[in-house]
Amino acid sequence: MPFLLARHNPRACLCSVLRKQNEQTRIQKVESKKCPCPPKIQNNMPLVPELRCSTIPLYNGLQIPILGLGTSHDGGYSHDAIVYALTECGVRHIDTAKRYGCEGDLGKAIKESGLDRSQLWLTNKLWPGDYGYRAAREACLDSCTQMGVEYFDLYLMHWPEAINQGGSNREVRAETWRALEELYKEGVCRSIGVSNFLINHLEQLKEDCSVMPHVNQVEYHPYQQPTTLMEYCAEKGIVFEGYSPLAKGQILSDPAVHQIALKYRRTPAQICIRWSIQNGVVTIPKSTKKKRVQENFQVFDFQLEETDMVALRSMHDGRRVSWDPTNVK
């Protein structure tokens, strides 16, 4: 299904703002030029039909869609938004986690969409409270049951620290990973990976286990660019995946991003998401609003110039908007 163009938002239109201010001189100057806002279009007008979400190969040969829709807890799930994303926006990559508490609801949304399971890429995550060999196996199989599926395309250890488990973090991670390796070999998980792991955690896993993670999902946006970790993952054949590409909304008001958005007649969110996928990062934005879901996936019909890519890279200041695994042994 093709992606759809974002609807024109009169509130965001520079011309409309100036008209409301009734500043006739400024209106004339603006109207004499091309309006920098997206053109007004009919509802549901399709984007170029051949546009599709590109993919990135995992080292086992699977292709993961480079853009996915994330879910979350604390109000971070919307049934209607998921169904809309799947049926109207062409979304085929959904990211969730047991901790989010929406596995059952997500399964219902997928069923309601009418899409065949083979058309989707589903990522789920194992919470540290279920770490350990036996607990990890049981949790994964239970998550499959909750979602009404027989397998996950990608299954991640959610966090490098063990919670209420005997043994060191390293020992528990290794024991848990061995369970994921078996689930991978059995086909319950078509690929396995980790989330929020740093180089030291990955090095330990490499020494203790036989299957390297296919994916490492961490926080990634212009303010937080873990370049060394990205280089390590690339060297080891681990696909780098980024969550919170909009820095939980913090970056949307940044003047530098707004300037670039104006240049391309796009929204700040689209600029940040495009920057991320153009860096080769599997990107997971999330929203419970239909309009924003649609907007977030309309990023495959333009490219940022290198000068703008560099400008966004220069915004790195190390800030995090989510968990910090730095002190996890």
Annotated binding site: 158
Structure tokens at 158: 């959610």
Cα angle, residue 201 at apex, residues 67 and 183 outer, rounded to 5°: 65
Judge contact between 126 and 155, C-beta under 8 A: yes
Residue 55's φ and ψ, nearest 5 degrees, are -125, 165
Residue ranges at the known binding site for substrate:
158
CA dist 138 and 219 (Å) reads 28
Judge contact between 68 and 44, C-beta under 8 A: no
Residues 6+ apart with CB under 8 A from 313: 222, 225
Residues in the chain: 329
Cite the active site residues.
100
What count of other Cβ atoms lies within 10 Å of the Cβ of residue 226? 19
